[in-house]
Amino acid sequence: MDSLAGLLPIIAMFAVMWFFIIRPAQKRQKSTAQMQNNLKRGDQIITVGGLHGKIDAVDDTTIFVVVADGTRLQFERVAVGRVVSDQ
């Protein structure tokens, strides 16, 4: 019984870490992956590098982004940080 009582604080610390650190990180990761899978032509995006642009075309693993001066750039889907607005 003493060994179980000794393990209780360790188990409690793991539970606290799970609910305050691991679980929210998994939710963010899941929502980011869902956003990257739902990209479509016309979405205004910001890449993880800070580039602002509009999606021109979407492939399986890449997207083509048009920036302000009309330049067309190719990025991996995972490089998209967030969608600013849907059109």
Instruction: Please name the residue that has the structure tokens 């849907």.
Output: 86
Q: List Cα–Cα distances, 28 to 46, 60, 66, in angstroms.
A: 17, 22, 27
pLDDT digits (tens, 9 = 90+) for 9-47: 888 999 998 889 889 999 999 999 999 999 999 999 999
DSSP 8-state class, residue 70: S
Share the mean pLDDT of the chain: 91
Q: How confident is the model at residue 6 (pLDDT cuts 50, 70, 90)?
A: confident
Question: Which comes out higher in pLDDT, residue 1 or 4?
Answer: 4
